[in-house]
Copies of this chain bind each other. A is one copy, B any other.
Amino acid sequence: MSQEHARPTAGPQHAGPEVPAPSHAERSRTLAAQARVGTLCTVAGDHTDVAGTPYGSLVTVAFDGEGCPLLLLSALAEHTRNLAARAEASMLVAEALEAGADPLALGRATLLGRCVRVASGEEAATREVFLAAHPRASYYVDFKDFGFWRLEPVSVRYIGGFGRMSWVSGEDYRRASPDPLAPAAAGILAHMNQDHGDALLAYARALAGVPEATSATMTAVDRYGFEMTVDAPDGPRAARLAFPAPLSTTDEVRKAMVALVKDARGRLAAG
């Protein structure tokens, strides 16, 4: 359970042994960058009758440039009173659960460290980042009992679903960057699956090592490549294909996909 992450790492199933994939540090940063809500875990303070018990609460959250959670908390709230007495805390962020999906297949990350008040010199910058993510907070950001808090992760526990998990150091987490394609990923998948099933099938047959493939569905895309579920007579299988270099825009993805389909069709025509 304590396997170290490494970059690049391969997913659990893929076309070849060395298909580059996001590291767990990168996947954690990507999850955080997409999250607007998380569970803050603090230690219940002496003012409660469960002092010392870990206390989970729902919070809105934004993330600074190092992936550290930024929180806007009321001094009256239980979690804030807990933090004032004891800074050790964690923040759990998870992919959104879709109806009918298995929650245990969700990607999630727990960022563990210390959560302290943002220094007065950093309040303006924090406020800007937080309000950009949570415009509704402008209604209470200036209430006197509200203040900004920041959690600096010492360790991160990443879980990418069944059997794909590791500890990531706080340093590796902060140094990694969120996937630049994450905000566009759902749109790319929808477009490819709706309009380019023929290209996906060519990738599967010529590049993913499944010449007998009957159809393919794109299931994920990141800066390093994309994943498909490939249907074949002996059942579905997962495949991952790499981009020739890390990409950061949808336009780059489009060009890479076109180049890949030319390559694939060339290979299929050559038999």
Q: Per-position contact with B for A73-92: 1 when CB-CB < 8 Å, else 0? A: 00011100000000011111
Contact indicator B50/A155 (Cβ below 8 Å): yes
How many copies of this chain does the complex contain?
2
A135 to chain B, nearest CB (A): 11
- Cα distance, A162 to B155, chains bound together (Å): 32
A136 closest partner in B (C-beta): B102
Tell me which residues from 94 to 116 in chain A have a Cβ below 8 Å from any Cβ of chain B: 94, 96-97, 102-104, 106, 108, 110, 112-113
A74 closest partner in B (C-beta): B1
Contact indicator A92/B1 (Cβ below 8 Å): no
| Choice from B55, B60, B97, B104 contacting A41 with Cβ under 8 Å | B55
Contact indicator A113/B39 (Cβ below 8 Å): no
Contacts A49-B154, A78-B1; A103 near B54 (Cβ below 8 A): no
Residues of B within 8 A of A108 (CB): 57-58
Interface residues, chain A, CB within 8 Å of chain B?
1, 36-37, 39-44, 48-50, 52-58, 60, 76-78, 88-92, 94, 96-97, 102-104, 106, 108, 110, 112-113, 136, 154-155, 157, 159, 167
Q: When A and B form their complex, which 4 residue pairs have the shortest distance between CB atoms, in order from nearest?
A: A56-B92, A54-B54, A41-B54, A39-B39
Chain A to chain B contacts (Cβ below 8 Å), 10 pairs:
A37-B97, A41-B41, A48-B112, A50-B112, A53-B112, A54-B55, A56-B56, A57-B157, A58-B94, A58-B108
